[in-house]
Amino acid sequence: MNADGALATTLCGLRLRNPVIAASGTFAYGLEFQKLVNLNGLGGLVVKGLSREPMEGNAPPRVWETAAGMLNSIGLQNIGVRAFVRDKLPALAKLDTAVFANVFGYQTGDYVEVVRILEDHAGLAAYELNVSCPNTSHGGIYFSSDPALLSEVVAAVKRVARRPVVVKLSPNVSAIEPLARAAEESGADAISLVNTFVALAIDPYTRRPRLGGGTGGLSGPAIKPLALRLVFQAARAVRIPVIGLGGISSGTDAAEFLIAGATAVQVGTATFADPRAPVRIASELGRFLRREKIAQVSQLVGSVKA
């Protein structure tokens, strides 16, 4: 446990040394960072999204730096769940930190099959469902934008999962509350938000999109105020824990999300500039608590005066 017990956090029954988690898609499978980062200094880490079969992802270019963040169009490239449990999970299982498996699919059965395979192996603390994918069996409607489809996939996964299930919500919706409530009512143990905002960058000289996939997902400091608002709204709509993310790059950023109602936070884009960002942010959050004479980080959660 972290020497600074003030940061100790409980999330879905999981005891975390601090509330700062490395976000999916920005921290590879975790192991790639172990020479740069003390992985056991993290509150947890979420591996790259896992699918039933390996995926090559989108055509390059895949990343474009913006004035206050980045656009990505990786296309959910990954080695597939079977290669993950064979080649990555045994080493991850030796860590003291909580490891979350991010799971995605294009039909409900995809999510269920990936989780079913993961259930047979030790070393994971929980699952995070990336529902920002089009459901191909329902004409391409996004799981993340339809409460009925969201409920269907969450309930199906909960029937096979013995570990906690976190649902990662998209910000690309007209209202977040119905989706947050649908996740809760169908059995989710927690929700995380936000995923990236759909955005576009154009090269004015070639008049073509900067990314090979056309549009991409905007992340980083540019989205922080938007993400904070959505976390605040979602936390007021549900009773289950909320994990906040979106543009967090400092301990005070993390504190803002906790104050808005998040129980824990995830750090993503900041790790591109500083691979140690999640550990640094946890340390800065600890200093914030000491300066403000706050005995336990849980005292911040939902303390916004609104």
- Flag whether 207 is in a domain: no
Whether the pTM exceeds 0.85: the reply is: yes
pLDDT over 90, % of the chain: 95
Query: Cis omega before residue 194 (within 30°)?
Result: yes
Residue 140 pLDDT level (bands cut at 50, 70, 90): confident
pLDDT band at 1 (very low <50, low <70, confident <90, very high): very low
Q: Is the pLDDT of residue 137 over 90?
A: no
Cα distances (angstroms) measured from residue 257 to each of 82, 275, 285:
35, 21, 11
Residue 211 lies in a domain: no
181: Cα separation from own chain's centroid: 18
Does residue 81 contact residue 114 with C-beta atoms inside 8 Å?
yes
Residue 65 lies in a domain: no
How does the average pLDDT of the chain come out, rounded? 96
Q: In this structure, is residue 210 part of a structural domain?
A: no
Q: Answer yes or no: is 276 within a domain.
A: yes
Q: Catalytic site residues?
A: 133
- In order, the DSSP letters of 183-211 are HHHTT-SEEEE--PEEE--EETTTTEESB
206 located within any domain: no
Q: Please tell me the total count of domains within the chain.
A: 1
pLDDT in tens, 267-302: 999 999 999 999 999 999 999 999 999 999 999 999
pLDDT digits (tens, 9 = 90+) for 217-242: 999 999 999 999 999 999 999 999 99
Q: Tell me: the pLDDT tens digits for 20-55?
A: 999 999 999 999 999 999 999 999 999 999 999 999
- Which domain does 147 fall in, by range? 5-58+76-198+218-300
pLDDT in tens, 173-209: 999 999 999 999 999 999 999 999 999 999 999 999 9
Dig out the tokens for 163 from the structure: 């570990």
Domain with 96 in it: what CATH number? 3.20.20.70
For 150, counting Cβ atoms within 10 Å of its Cβ (0-12 exposed, 13-18 middle, 19+ buried), the class is buried
Reading phi first (left if > 0) and then psi (alpha if -120 to 50, else beta), residue 12 is in left
Flag whether pLDDT at 98 surpasses 80: yes
127 located within any domain:
yes
159 inside domain? yes
190: left (phi over 0), alpha (psi -120 to 50) or beta: beta
3-state secondary structure of 26: coil
Range 77-83 average pLDDT? 97
Residue from 20, 17, 19, 22 nearest 2 by CA: 17
Which residues partner with 180 through β-bridges? none
Which residues, in sequence order, are CB contacts of 11 under 8 Å at separation 6+? 19, 190, 241, 243, 263, 264
User: For residue 135, what pLDDT band results from cuts at 50, 70 and 90?
Assistant: confident
Return the residue matching tokens 């972290």: 2
